[in-house]
Amino acid sequence: MKNKFPTPHINAYPKDFAKTVLMPGDPLRAKFIAETFLVNALLVNNVRGIHGYTGEYKGNKISVMASGMGMPSIGIYSYELYNYFGVENIIRIGSAGALDESVKIRDIIFGMGACYNSNYASQFCLSGSFAPICDYDLLTTAVEEAKSFGVQYHVGNLLSSDTFYCDDVSSNEAWRKLGILAVEMEAAALYMNAARAGKRALAMCTVSDNIATGEATDSSERERSFTQMMEIALNTAAKLR
């Protein structure tokens, strides 16, 4: 596949990105991470307001770029990063809605797998259903970092949903019965793109609300207060070789 830069969605060149990219959904969260944690952070992309930065963290070159909302959006950005810009690792750092009362606000969930209600996998023309999973080395490194921070965390299955507002009010309960920890909107597409490209991916999410109990954080808290997840992701990225 012939590379042409810039791409339709990323106004940059391969040298502008690190091998590891942290990927929040919110562009303002990407900006916050770059300004708070990275040294000598440079804005390398701002097409459609999707902030992308590259800087240094603990002496390591690391990038952070927003994915936007939903599987189609992260599907585009992760595809281009993996296949055109030489990125090897993408760590999604997002928010999720817990489906079980035992998962509390601000707990961190590592998505070992990601179920989905999307048609995203149909493009691969498989004769069965694909089970998207994370990279084991990324997962174990991140879990060890979470332990060192002393945070409450869970490892298990996420649901990547195409619908934020769903007409089927019973759907969340059906997924909860199968042990799904939380619902978000991006991980499955990221895992599928990583698998197809032969690259690595991990989704970690801070619980922003609990669908069962009604507890919730607001948008400003989600943008700026999920710093433990950010530092866990940054420390994980700094240990990758």
Q: For 130, how many CA atoms within 13 A lie in the half-sphere containing its CB?
A: 20
Q: Which helix (H) or strand (E) holds 139?
A: helix 136-149
Q: Tens digit of pLDDT per residue, the chain (241 long)? A: 556 778 889 999 999 999 999 999 999 999 999 999 999 999 999 889 899 999 999 999 999 999 999 999 999 999 999 999 999 999 999 999 999 888 999 999 999 999 999 999 999 999 999 999 999 999 999 999 999 999 999 999 999 999 988 888 788 999 999 999 999 999 999 999 999 999 999 999 999 998 888 887 776 665 555 899 999 999 999 999 7
Looking at domain 14-238, its CATH superfamily turns out to be Nucleoside phosphorylase domain (3.40.50.1580)
Measuring CA to CA, which residue among 163, 203, 165, 159 is closest to residue 179?
159
Q: Residue 65 and residue 31: Cα distance in Å, rounded?
A: 8
Give catalytic residues, as residue numbers.
Answer: 209
pTM (two decimals):
0.94
DSSP line for 17-55: S-SEEEE-SSHHHHHHHHHHH-EEEEEEE-GGG--EEEE
Domain ranges of the chain: 14-238
Q: Residue 177 and residue 180: Cα distance in Å, rounded?
A: 7
